[in-house]
Structure 1
Amino acid sequence: MAAPRPPPARLSGVMVPAPIQDLEALRALTALFKEQRNRETAPRTIFQRVLDILKKSSRAVELACREPAQVDHLAASLQLITECFRCLRNACIECSVNQNSIRNLDTIGVAVDLILLFRELRVEQESLLTAFRCGLQFLGNIASRNEASQRVVWMHAFPELFLFLIITDHFLKSPELVKAMYAKMSNQERVALLDLTIAKIAGEEPLTKDDVPVFLSHAELVASAFVDQCRAVLHLTAEQPTGDEEALATIRLLDVLCEMTANTDLLGYLQVFPGLLERVIDLLRLIHAAGSDTTSIFSPCASIKAEGDITNVAEGFKSHLIRLIGNLCYKNKENQDKVSELDGIPLILDSCGIDDSNPFLTQWVVYAIRNLTEDNSRNQDLIAKMEEQGLADPSLLKKMGFEVEKRGDKLILKSASDTPQL
């Protein structure tokens, strides 16, 4: 006769097996932790048992790393590891008590060590990739809005795991982990992360349906950081153009925003991001004013190159500001009107000119003005009046594909008969 099974324990009135020893029990817990009430009443002993399973299963991974022949026997262990990570991931959702309990058991260190072991396995199994992703999701969730957990993740994960994830592109798939670690990075490390983001967005492969929600979260992070710190670029000087790493990181934030707003899946979110358009126009005005000083790094003469041996780190910055304005105003009347109200149109037109430090500046001005005037009679009228008053260059308007015609007492901005010169 089989020995009697121990009575089940209760979790918020839901019956679960007391000894967490198998895959079915872990799956049951994972499902239970989808509900907030179950997360909030989970006993600490539950997480100790999950950690015990994780440690036991990780020994099989260690053995497979030492003896490649053992890889064929990893299936069961990888299933358990994956479900452990899923269970812990769910338990941490909006629950600081569980985050703290799990962290205090040193689960973060075990998880990071295990994820690092994964890279040593010479195998391409879907089960391994799933375990890898769930491990990252757990680290992201335990660090979410929890500074103590963020510090521990950073302590264990940097630099080895961080650099590994950057190389393998998996880091970007966990937005909570990106947010947690971005706050702790140096500006040089942030530039590396932002470069990876640009490569992913502007790469040959378009963002997948699963990528879009993740990159919307990244867009929030990038836009917030830019709004908060964009004036840091004003610290750059022609004498020491690389002397402020925060300014260099800000320049890269702008590059990312330009690529994000060129993506239709991300554009709508950024077009309504609080304060972004206003801050871009404000910064363009400051940069434009700074350019009148011939000693400024933002002066049109500041980046003249002699045999290619001089590099201006701010090269293209003004062009990208105007490009971003154009993107944010694409088929968006509210933003078109907002630029006009902030006197941004005269500023953009006045920015057009030969500038070696801003390649394609004229083309981006043309692009921005077109987006500002499309189906917007108010902005069209404004530019027409500027031309009459001598505040807008007729040849520039012609290059944009526009010309001003006087009909009675009214000025009309219309499409030129000639093909626009882009």
Structure 2
Amino acid sequence: MAEESLFRDVLEILMKASNEVEGVREESWESGDADACLLLIAECFRCLRNACVQCAKNQHVMRNLGLIHTSVHLIEVLHGVPVKQESLLTAFRCSLQFLGNVAAGNGDSQNSIWKCAFPDLFLTCLTYSDEKIVAYCCMVLFTCLNSERVRELLNPGNLTVPLHVLKVYREELETEWSFLIVTDHLLKCPELVKALYAKLSNQERVTLLDLIMAKISENHPVTSEEMMVFLRYADFLAGCFQEKCQAVLKLTSAVDAEDEEALVTIRLLDVLCEMTSNNGQLEHLQVLPGLLETAVDTLRLTHLAGKQTINIFTVTHAMTGQEEISHPAVGFKSHLIRLIGNLCYKNKENQDKVYQLDGIPLILDNCSIDDNNPFVNQWAVYAIRNLTEQNERNQELIAHMEERGLADNSILESMGLQVEKQEDKLILRSIRKNPS
């Protein structure tokens, strides 16, 4: 209910205070002589912050008076103060809270802040030593972002802003607003994600892939626009996996158990498995050149590596159930088989491709219980089911393997399959269970 004159008075106080802060010498900061001025600034921003909560009238008045521009300038002044005492931090925090509140639900104020503050203010505050200032900066950035401004981040000079947001999230300096910036804005622009991915360290890539996994795992109906974004991710991430998949073989050495490039490969596989669990994304990935071949070849290489020496890819039954498996490659072969099974789901061309790559015996050879690959037996059952569905040649291959003794009958039985001989033909059938 305040009159415009009140906000004029506050603006005048802030402008005078800003001039006073700029004139303070370093020794005066250390002695605390400027504390009263900083307290006055903080109280002004508290007043403004509270007055514009869900109040479009006051938001417009403040913007038209120039309070946004004055506040951004004052933040720059506060940032330059050499001594970071509590009174300074309080004024700094309140100024950012004001910008967040004046922008909330108000497109004109968001435009004004973006014009005054991007990118310099965000770069200043995202790298500040105070976690609350970083958090409030993320709040302001999230409030001001839209699809058009996200594309502005693609400019080489602006890419540092989203890179700092990812760093803030990864270092857990502030998780809520930085998480929302990434999932609600940055991930909606595949071109930006590709540009960021190229600039990130391997550790940071793992963090970004975790955020992509969280986004594609959301349990809600996907719009056509979202699906188009996911399909572009599918192309990009499948290409990254195909390029770097053999990096995981470094993990055969205990010395390289934490190899960061290999950890990226593992996370890429996790994301691709999740994507192929969605029908729309599955159909797209099923026809991507080279992805299925890469999965089969990588399974063969890791399987052979596990047989040549004792390492994380070696089948083991040493666990008693009490130990905690912490090696990053645990489950890697299971996930490869899951990806192969998904890619062959109701897809005759991919079923035949696995046959040609001699992948069926390879999958059957990974059917035993393996403590390094939880649920590998179940994923192998699923993959064989998808490989043999309405595919007589693949069914006959497994049946002949049984006749030659190449496949352990107990493995087939564990899959719910059995081989029957009818005249001169071997037929693979499901084992019918008696009703309980």
Structure 2 partner of 1:46: none
Contact 1:112 1:161 in 2 (8 A): no
Q: In structure 2, which of residues 153, 157, 164 is the aligned counterpart of residue 139 of structure 1?
A: 153
Counterpart residue type for residue 244 of structure 2: Q
Summarize deviations over 1:182-223 as a string: whole Å, max 9, x none.
011111011111112222223444544432222212212211
Contact 1:319 1:360 in 2 (8 A): yes
Q: More deviation in 113-122 or 240-249?
A: 113-122
Please list, as runs of the form range in 1=range in 2, the aligned pairs for 1:308-319 lying within 5 A after superposition.
Answer: 308=323, 311-319=326-334
Q: In structure 1, which of residues 66, 74, 92 is the aligned counterpart of residue 95 of structure 2?
A: 66
Shift in CA distance, 359/121, structure 1 to aligned 2, threshold 3 Å: closer
Local SS of the residue matching 1:220: helix
Shift in CA distance, 69/403, structure 1 to aligned 2, threshold 3 Å: closer
1:159 offset after TM fit, Å? Answer: 2.4
Counterpart residue type for residue 163 of structure 1: V
Q: Distance in 1 between matches of 2:146 and 2:284?
A: 30
Q: Distance in 1 between matches of 2:204 and 2:97?
A: 34
Counterpart residue type for residue 293 of structure 1: Q
Contact 1:303 1:315 in 2 (8 A): no
1:265 offset after TM fit, Å? Answer: 2.1
Q: In structure 1, which of residues 163, 167, 174 is the aligned counterpart of residue 179 of structure 2?
A: 167
Contact 1:329 1:372 in 2 (8 A): yes
Q: In structure 2, which of residues 251, 268, 286 is the aligned counterpart of residue 236 of structure 1?
A: 251
Q: In structure 2, which of residues 105, 119, 128 is the aligned counterpart of residue 109 of structure 1?
A: 119
Counterpart residue type for residue 66 of structure 1: S
Residue 293 (1) aligns with residue 305 (2): no
Q: Distance in 1 between matches of 2:240 and 2:96?
A: 46
Shift in CA distance, 410/130, structure 1 to aligned 2, threshold 3 Å: farther
Shift in CA distance, 66/109, structure 1 to aligned 2, threshold 3 Å: closer
Counterpart residue type for residue 59 of structure 1: H
Q: Following superposition, which runs of at least 4 residues in structure 1 exceed 4 angstroms of deviation?
A: 67-77, 80-85, 110-119, 121-124, 127-130, 302-307
Sequence identity of aligned pairs in percent?
A: 49
Contact 2:103 2:110 in 1 (8 A): no
Residue 395 (1) aligns with residue 410 (2): yes
Please list, as runs of the form range in 1=range in 2, the aligned pairs for 1:36-55 lying within 5 A after superposition.
Answer: none
Structure 1 partner of 2:20: none
Structure 2 partner of 1:8: none
Residue 262 (1) aligns with residue 277 (2): yes
Shift in CA distance, 82/348, structure 1 to aligned 2, threshold 3 Å: farther
Structure 2 partner of 1:78: 107
Local SS of the residue matching 2:420: strand
Please list, as runs of the form range in 1=range in 2, the aligned pairs for 1:201-220 lying within 5 A after superposition.
Answer: 201-220=216-235
Q: TM-score, normalised by structure 1?
A: 0.69
Structure 1 partner of 2:394: 379
Q: Distance in 2 between matches of 1:166 and 1:71?
A: 14
Q: Distance in 2 between matches of 1:343 and 1:250?
A: 24
Q: In structure 2, which of residues 346, 358, 368 is the aligned counterpart of residue 331 of structure 1?
A: 346
Residue 322 (1) aligns with residue 332 (2): no
Shift in CA distance, 217/314, structure 1 to aligned 2, threshold 3 Å: same
Give the gaps of 5 or more residues in structure 2.
Answer: 1-65, 75-92, 127-132, 170-176
Q: Distance in 2 between matches of 1:181 and 1:305?
A: 43
Contact 1:238 1:295 in 2 (8 A): no
Q: In structure 2, which of residues 327, 350, 356 is the aligned counterpart of residue 341 of structure 1?
A: 356
1:261 offset after TM fit, Å? Answer: 0.5
Q: Distance in 2 between matches of 1:231 and 1:123?
A: 41
Q: TM-score, normalised by structure 2?
A: 0.67
Contact 2:330 2:373 in 1 (8 A): yes
Q: Distance in 1 between matches of 2:222 and 2:354?
A: 30
Q: Distance in 1 between matches of 2:285 and 2:97?
A: 48
1:75 offset after TM fit, Å? Answer: 8.0
Shift in CA distance, 60/391, structure 1 to aligned 2, threshold 3 Å: farther
Shift in CA distance, 269/261, structure 1 to aligned 2, threshold 3 Å: same
Q: In structure 1, which of residues 120, 125, 144 is the aligned counterpart of residue 136 of structure 2?
A: 120
Q: Distance in 2 between matches of 1:80 and 1:268?
A: 44
Summarize deviations over 1:158-182 as a string: whole Å, max 9, x none.
3246535752223322211110010
Residue 182 (1) aligns with residue 197 (2): yes
Contact 2:400 2:426 in 1 (8 A): yes
Please tell me whether Structure 1 or Structure 2 has the larger radius of gyration of its CA atoms.
Answer: 2
Contact 2:285 2:343 in 1 (8 A): yes
Residue 280 (1) aligns with residue 292 (2): no
Looking at secondary structure, tell me which structure has more helix per residue. Answer: 2
Residue 158 (1) aligns with residue 163 (2): yes
Q: More deviation in 163-172 or 309-318?
A: 163-172
1:325 offset after TM fit, Å? Answer: 0.2
Equivalent pairs, count: 335
Q: Distance in 1 between matches of 2:123 and 2:226?
A: 26
Local SS of the residue matching 1:210: helix
Please list, as runs of the form range in 1=range in 2, the aligned pairs for 1:7-18 lying within 5 A after superposition.
Answer: none
1:131 offset after TM fit, Å? Answer: 3.7
Q: More deviation in 200-209 or 347-356?
A: 200-209
Local SS of the residue matching 1:248: helix
Q: Distance in 1 between matches of 2:207 and 2:320?
A: 26
1:108 offset after TM fit, Å? Answer: 7.4
Counterpart residue type for residue 268 of structure 2: L
Contact 1:294 1:302 in 2 (8 A): no
Contact 1:58 1:81 in 2 (8 A): no
Contact 1:340 1:379 in 2 (8 A): yes
Q: More deviation in 382-391 or 303-312?
A: 303-312
1:358 offset after TM fit, Å? Answer: 0.5
Structure 2 partner of 1:13: none
Counterpart residue type for residue 136 of structure 2: E
Summarize deviations over 1:293-335 as a string: whole Å, max 9, x none.
3422211239847953662221000100000000000111110
